[in-house]
Protein backbone atom coordinates (compact mmCIF):
# COMPACT_ATOMS: atom_id res chain seq x y z
CA UNK A 1 0.00 0.00 0.00
CA UNK A 2 2.83 2.33 0.89
CA UNK A 3 4.59 1.74 -2.45
CA UNK A 4 1.36 2.60 -4.26
CA UNK A 5 1.27 5.96 -2.46
CA UNK A 6 4.90 6.68 -3.33
CA UNK A 7 4.23 5.70 -6.94
CA UNK A 8 1.21 8.04 -7.05
CA UNK A 9 3.32 10.93 -5.70
CA UNK A 10 6.07 10.28 -8.26
CA UNK A 11 3.52 10.11 -11.05
CA UNK A 12 1.90 13.39 -9.94
CA UNK A 13 5.31 15.08 -9.80
CA UNK A 14 6.20 13.82 -13.28
CA UNK A 15 2.90 15.01 -14.74
CA UNK A 16 3.13 18.47 -13.17
CA UNK A 17 6.75 18.80 -14.30
CA UNK A 18 5.86 18.01 -17.90
CA UNK A 19 3.32 20.79 -18.33
CA UNK A 20 4.08 22.78 -21.46
CA UNK A 21 5.78 26.12 -21.00
CA UNK A 22 3.84 29.25 -21.84
CA UNK A 23 4.01 29.98 -25.56
CA UNK A 24 6.79 32.32 -26.58
CA UNK A 25 4.57 33.93 -29.20
CA UNK A 26 1.72 35.92 -27.69
CA UNK A 27 -1.69 35.73 -29.32
CA UNK A 28 -1.63 39.51 -29.76
CA UNK A 29 1.49 39.20 -31.93
CA UNK A 30 -0.42 37.06 -34.45
CA UNK A 31 -3.47 39.32 -34.81
CA UNK A 32 -1.79 41.95 -37.06
CA UNK A 33 -0.46 39.20 -39.32
CA UNK A 34 -3.95 37.69 -39.60
CA UNK A 35 -5.41 41.09 -40.48
CA UNK A 36 -2.71 41.82 -43.04
CA UNK A 37 -3.47 38.55 -44.87
CA UNK A 38 -7.20 39.30 -44.88
CA UNK A 39 -6.47 42.81 -46.18
CA UNK A 40 -4.19 41.49 -48.92
CA UNK A 41 -6.96 39.22 -50.15
CA UNK A 42 -9.65 41.89 -50.03
CA UNK A 43 -7.77 44.70 -51.77
CA UNK A 44 -10.11 46.96 -53.68
CA UNK A 45 -9.50 47.07 -57.40
CA UNK A 46 -8.59 43.40 -57.84
CA UNK A 47 -9.68 42.08 -61.20
CA UNK A 48 -11.42 39.11 -59.56
CA UNK A 49 -11.98 39.83 -55.85
CA UNK A 50 -11.62 36.97 -53.39
CA UNK A 51 -14.51 35.98 -51.16
CA UNK A 52 -13.16 35.54 -47.62
CA UNK A 53 -15.22 33.01 -45.70
CA UNK A 54 -14.25 34.08 -42.20
CA UNK A 55 -11.13 35.62 -40.76
CA UNK A 56 -7.65 34.18 -40.96
CA UNK A 57 -6.60 32.48 -37.73
CA UNK A 58 -3.07 31.99 -36.45
CA UNK A 59 -1.81 29.79 -33.66
CA UNK A 60 1.62 29.21 -32.16
CA UNK A 61 2.52 25.57 -31.49
CA UNK A 62 5.47 25.45 -29.10
CA UNK A 63 8.39 23.55 -30.57
CA UNK A 64 6.84 23.54 -34.06
CA UNK A 65 6.06 27.09 -35.13
CA UNK A 66 3.24 29.33 -36.31
CA UNK A 67 0.27 28.08 -38.34
CA UNK A 68 -2.21 30.32 -40.16
CA UNK A 69 -5.45 28.97 -41.62
CA UNK A 70 -8.09 30.56 -43.81
CA UNK A 71 -11.03 29.58 -45.98
CA UNK A 72 -11.39 31.43 -49.26
CA UNK A 73 -13.48 31.33 -52.40
CA UNK A 74 -11.12 32.34 -55.21
CA UNK A 75 -13.74 34.74 -56.60
CA UNK A 76 -17.13 36.06 -55.59
CA UNK A 77 -19.06 33.51 -57.62
CA UNK A 78 -22.70 33.61 -58.65
CA UNK A 79 -25.09 31.69 -56.44
CA UNK A 80 -28.28 29.80 -57.01
CA UNK A 81 -31.12 31.79 -55.48
CA UNK A 82 -34.90 31.93 -55.97
CA UNK A 83 -34.22 34.62 -58.58
CA UNK A 84 -31.38 32.74 -60.30
CA UNK A 85 -32.31 29.10 -60.27
CA UNK A 86 -29.54 27.72 -62.49
CA UNK A 87 -26.01 28.52 -63.54
CA UNK A 88 -25.37 28.48 -67.28
CA UNK A 89 -22.53 26.54 -68.92
CA UNK A 90 -20.99 29.88 -69.89
CA UNK A 91 -21.02 31.01 -66.26
CA UNK A 92 -19.43 27.73 -65.15
CA UNK A 93 -16.63 28.18 -67.69
CA UNK A 94 -16.17 31.86 -66.78
CA UNK A 95 -15.97 31.10 -63.04
CA UNK A 96 -13.40 28.36 -63.68
CA UNK A 97 -11.28 30.69 -65.82
CA UNK A 98 -11.40 33.47 -63.22
CA UNK A 99 -10.54 31.11 -60.36
CA UNK A 100 -7.63 29.70 -62.33
CA UNK A 101 -6.41 33.27 -62.93
CA UNK A 102 -6.67 34.10 -59.21
CA UNK A 103 -4.74 31.07 -57.99
CA UNK A 104 -1.26 32.66 -58.49
CA UNK A 105 -2.48 35.82 -56.70
CA UNK A 106 -3.49 33.72 -53.68
CA UNK A 107 -0.17 31.87 -53.66
CA UNK A 108 1.75 35.16 -53.78
CA UNK A 109 -0.27 36.53 -50.84
CA UNK A 110 0.47 33.34 -48.90
CA UNK A 111 4.22 33.67 -49.54
CA UNK A 112 4.15 37.31 -48.49
CA UNK A 113 2.42 36.37 -45.23
CA UNK A 114 5.14 33.79 -44.58
CA UNK A 115 7.90 36.32 -45.23
CA UNK A 116 6.20 38.97 -43.05
CA UNK A 117 5.79 36.43 -40.27
CA UNK A 118 9.46 35.43 -40.39
CA UNK A 119 10.63 39.04 -40.38
CA UNK A 120 8.30 40.38 -37.66
CA UNK A 121 8.08 37.57 -35.11
CA UNK A 122 11.45 37.96 -33.42
CA UNK A 123 10.50 35.50 -30.66
CA UNK A 124 9.96 32.69 -33.18
CA UNK A 125 13.07 30.48 -33.05
CA UNK A 126 14.92 30.16 -36.40
CA UNK A 127 14.38 26.41 -36.64
CA UNK A 128 10.63 26.58 -36.14
CA UNK A 129 8.16 26.58 -39.01
CA UNK A 130 5.87 29.13 -40.61
CA UNK A 131 2.84 27.42 -42.17
CA UNK A 132 -0.05 28.89 -44.14
CA UNK A 133 -2.96 26.61 -45.02
CA UNK A 134 -5.83 27.86 -47.17
CA UNK A 135 -8.92 25.77 -47.81
CA UNK A 136 -10.71 26.68 -51.02
CA UNK A 137 -14.49 26.76 -51.24
CA UNK A 138 -16.43 25.54 -54.26
CA UNK A 139 -20.13 25.38 -55.04
CA UNK A 140 -21.49 22.00 -56.12
CA UNK A 141 -22.06 23.22 -59.69
CA UNK A 142 -18.46 24.38 -60.24
CA UNK A 143 -15.90 22.82 -62.54
CA UNK A 144 -12.89 22.03 -60.33
CA UNK A 145 -10.48 20.57 -62.90
CA UNK A 146 -6.95 21.76 -62.18
CA UNK A 147 -7.98 23.59 -59.00
CA UNK A 148 -6.88 22.39 -55.56
CA UNK A 149 -9.15 22.06 -52.57
CA UNK A 150 -6.39 23.16 -50.21
CA UNK A 151 -2.99 24.86 -50.49
CA UNK A 152 -0.38 24.35 -47.81
CA UNK A 153 2.90 26.30 -47.65
CA UNK A 154 5.60 25.58 -45.10
CA UNK A 155 9.18 26.73 -44.44
CA UNK A 156 11.44 27.32 -41.48
CA UNK A 157 11.89 30.86 -40.23
CA UNK A 158 15.61 30.70 -41.00
CA UNK A 159 15.01 29.66 -44.63
CA UNK A 160 12.52 32.50 -45.08
CA UNK A 161 14.94 34.96 -43.48
CA UNK A 162 17.57 34.09 -46.08
CA UNK A 163 15.14 34.93 -48.88
CA UNK A 164 14.65 31.23 -49.48
CA UNK A 165 11.50 31.24 -51.57
CA UNK A 166 12.78 27.97 -53.02
CA UNK A 167 12.82 26.50 -49.49
CA UNK A 168 9.04 26.93 -49.22
CA UNK A 169 7.33 23.57 -49.50
CA UNK A 170 4.06 23.93 -51.42
CA UNK A 171 1.47 21.20 -51.34
CA UNK A 172 -1.80 21.35 -53.26
CA UNK A 173 -4.42 18.85 -52.23
Q: What is the dihedral of CA 81, 98, 164, 153, to 10 degrees?
A: 30
How far is C-alpha 126 from the chain's CA centre? 20
Per DSSP bridges, beta strands 57-61 and 65-73 are antiparallel
pLDDT of residue 58: 97
Q: Are 151 and 107 in contact (CB under 8 A)?
A: yes
**Of the ranges 21-25, 83-87, 161-165, which one carries the lowest mean pLDDT score?**
21-25
Rounded to whole angstroms, the Cα distance separating 102 from 94 reads 12
**pLDDT > 70? residue 21:** no
Per residue in 47-103, pLDDT (tens digit) is 899 999 999 999 999 999 999 999 999 999 999 999 989 999 999 999 999 999 999
Q: Are 54 and 33 in contact (CB under 8 A)?
A: no
pLDDT of residue 13: 53
Per residue in 99-156, pLDDT (tens digit) is 999 999 999 999 999 999 999 999 999 999 999 999 999 999 999 999 999 999 999 9
Over the chain, what is the mean pLDDT? Answer: 89
Decide: helix, strand or coil at residue 57.
strand
Beta bridge partners of 151: 134, 172
* For the chain, percent of residues with pLDDT exceeding 90: 77
Rounded to whole angstroms, the Cα distance separating 7 from 97 reads 66
Decide: helix, strand or coil at residue 78.
coil
Band of residue 33 on the pLDDT scale cut at 50, 70, 90? very high
143 Cβ partners below 8 Å, 6+ apart? 92, 93, 95, 96
- Look at the chain and count its residues: 173
Q: Are 127 and 35 in contact (CB under 8 A)?
A: no
Amino acid sequence: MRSAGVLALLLAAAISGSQPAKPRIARMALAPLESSFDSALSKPGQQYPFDLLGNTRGVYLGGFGVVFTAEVNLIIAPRITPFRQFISKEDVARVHQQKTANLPVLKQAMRELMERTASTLDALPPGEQVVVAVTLFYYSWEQKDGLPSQILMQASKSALGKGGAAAVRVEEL
